[in-house]
Structure 1
Amino acid sequence: MTIDAATEYARGNNSSRPDPTLTPLSRRQATRLVHLALSAAAERGLDLAYLGGGALVPADRSADNPMLGLSNLARIVAQFDEDHWPVLVEDHFDQLLEQLRHGPPTPPTDPERELIQRLVPRDALPADWTADRPDFLPGLVSVPSTTDDGIVTMFLEPADMGITWGEAERFGLANLRGLTDHVEHVEHEGLQVDFVTGTPFAASRALVLDTVLRESLRVDHAPHGVLAAVPARDTLMLHVIRDLSVIPALGLLLNVAARSHAHDPGPLSPEVFMVTPDFRWFPATTLSPDYTPLRLSSELETLTKVLATSELPRRS
């Protein structure tokens, strides 16, 4: 029997497949979210349409209406039963409209006290704004921002505040160091992984990792470094390397980081990194030429050899 693919799709037989844009929702769930979002927008006087691409756009291109992304909203609603989605979408659009009523954000009046550095995916920003900014980690740049009542605003033109990029970054890092972490210590089969969570700057605390280790984890010195991951904006994952348990710890971090990056709002990177005692960041894994499973990076492989030697029994 021959089944026409277009007919099969039209009948919804592919509705359970992952939506290619609004992850981690299925196609059916993505369709429902778009319907809820369009209804909420219309009720608030916004004439928007969904043409794909994960965003609502002005139905009339000449109209002065905003473009509203749905990617993070998809990740938020995915954590709840669908019965709760209408309320979540309504609240989301209420917050968006409140922000729009205030107009464009104004630069901080006291950048030295207000700016906070934040990790942001390079591809989420206009290319010409970040062309001269180096990556902190592959694909991630450090951007000065402010926070007001839970709303984070980025400022990509420090000159508008009368300061240079260098000054903005210095102010932002100093204020980032002053934040307080919420840390959860998780034990799993004898391994400890520390989760820094609870704020929109949790992952960005990787920029001041020395402060996190010293003040939040009470680790004055990590002689072998740490494993670290920044899967999403609200999460920094750490494992202090002490012995060869770094290998199973790496497997655990890779698994959790991949899931967080795929499902949590504000995805950053699914990778796990090895951070040396002097705070240089290296990939913890590398792809094999034939695309077989991941292998240890050369830096981590070298470290495991050192750890293996140190754990050999001494000869009497």
Structure 2
Amino acid sequence: MTTQHNVPAERAAGNHSDREHPGLFPLTDAEADHLIHLARAALIGRGLSTSYDASTGSLAVIPPPDPESSHPPDHLGGALFGLGNLARTVNGHPRQSWSRLVEEHFDSLMASILRPPAGPTDPERQLYLRLAATSSVPAKWTADLPEFLPGLVAVPASNDNGTFALHFDPSTFGLTWTEAHRIALANLNLLPDSVSYIDHDGVQLAVLSDTTWAASRALVLDTVLRESLQVENPPYGVLVALPTRHLLLIHVIRDLSILPAISAMLRLTHTAYETSPGPLTPTVYLVDPTGWHPATTALPNHPLPYHLTPHLRALTQTLAHQEQSPD
């Protein structure tokens, strides 16, 4: 089966117009109501009646009363159109431009539904491995897939004139899952990176953000470090965050500047994850020769939201001892 990027299900809305809407974050309740109105009107204009499902932050298509006389797109009865990514897209734009953005969103979405992209005609050249949030696709599609990180799977994908398709069943174009995964990983490994750097509180963060494959480059992190950051086998590892499909943040660990680095990365990561389209994970990771480890943890009933995990705390103790030791 093949799918475009869907929207993760989100929780129910509140009822105060000036507070953030938990189902369509980062919009307020009043803004969310306006977006829902625009989205329902856009779908009515495309022959679909919907009702808002507050439990998922989605519009549910109402089945036609007479299925026998229905025609496309009436066969979508019962389908859910998630509004989470759309909420992130319109956020920050002037309210008067929302109608145009909503119309463009559903133009693209309905075109992909009524004319779904075919499988790649040349898989050896067109497949790339892509990270997807398990919450953004039906659970049965990812049930047998290993997670790269909690809540994230790597899926062969292709790009058809700007429409990205995830291919959960590569047998439709003659490949096994193992073959498609191998080809897609090899092609991902060959993609170039555009790296920029930001300095924050005296620490440097590398930013990959110019491509929709940016976060997926975490799957070939060694290549990114070696070829794009000119760093090979950093002895203390790196901090990595991939909050959205379009963003990969990296800090090479050298000393106790790791502490302001983790603070900066947490702020950037949570802002991107909560406000930008294509959310993946809000977790910042410590990546070292032993694998990927969460850098922070939350303690229940504690006033501070984040604490260093034992793995990262042990590393900071090593770095502190190194700085105190004579040359």
Same fold (TM over 0.5): yes
Q: Does 1:119 align with 2:121?
A: no
Give the Cα separation in 2 of the matches to 1:23 and 1:149.
29
| Amino acid in structure 2 at the alignment position of 1:288 | L
Structure 1 position 44, deviation (Å): 3.1
Corresponding residue for residue 7 of structure 1: none
Question: Contact 1:210–1:279 at 8 Å: present in 2 too?
Answer: no
Question: For 1:95-114, what aligned pairs fall within 5 Å after superposition?
Answer: 95-102=108-115, 104-114=116-126
Structure 1 position 238, deviation (Å): 0.7
Q: Once structures 1 and 2 are overlaid, which stretch shifts more, 283-292 or 115-124?
A: 283-292
Question: For 1:66-85, what aligned pairs fall within 5 Å after superposition?
Answer: 67-85=80-98
CA distance 1:289–1:98, shift in 2 (3 Å): closer
Question: Contact 2:207–2:248 at 8 Å: present in 1 too?
Answer: yes
Corresponding residue for residue 284 of structure 1: 295
Q: Does 1:90 align with 2:103?
A: yes
Corresponding residue for residue 248 of structure 1: 260
Structure 1 position 111, deviation (Å): 2.0
Question: For 1:304-315, what aligned pairs fall within 5 Å after superposition?
Answer: 304-314=316-326
Match of 1:149 among 158, 161, 165: 161
CA displacement, residues 12-31 of structure 1 (integer Å, 9 cap, x when unaligned): 98211221211111110011
Give the Cα separation in 2 of the matches to 1:297 and 1:313.
24
Matched residue count: 302
CA displacement, residues 88-139 of structure 1 (integer Å, 9 cap, x when unaligned): 112212222332342x332223222211111111222222222221111111
CA displacement, residues 40-81 of structure 1 (integer Å, 9 cap, x when unaligned): 222333333333332222233553135422110100001212
The TM-score, its normalising length taken from structure 1, stands at 0.89
Q: Determine what percentage of the aligned residue pairs are the same residue.
A: 45
| Amino acid in structure 2 at the alignment position of 1:79 | G
Unaligned runs of 5+ in 1: 1-11
Q: Does 1:29 align with 2:31?
A: yes
Corresponding residue for residue 8 of structure 1: none
| Amino acid in structure 1 at the alignment position of 2:57 | G
Match of 2:222 among 192, 210, 213: 210
DSSP-derived class of the 2:232 partner = coil
Question: Contact 2:117–2:160 at 8 Å: present in 1 too?
Answer: no
Give the Cα separation in 2 of the matches to 1:271 and 1:181.
22
Question: For 1:216-295, what aligned pairs fall within 5 Å after superposition?
Answer: 216-276=228-288, 278=289, 280-288=291-299, 290-293=301-304, 294-295=306-307
Unaligned runs of 5+ in 2: 1-13, 68-73
The TM-score, its normalising length taken from structure 2, stands at 0.86
Corresponding residue for residue 48 of structure 1: 50
Q: Please, what is the CA RMSD of the aligned residues?
A: 2.0
DSSP-derived class of the 2:281 partner = coil
Q: Does 1:64 align with 2:63?
A: no
Corresponding residue for residue 132 of structure 1: 144
Q: Once structures 1 and 2 are overlaid, which stretch shifts more, 91-100 or 246-255?
A: 91-100
Question: Contact 2:170–2:177 at 8 Å: present in 1 too?
Answer: yes
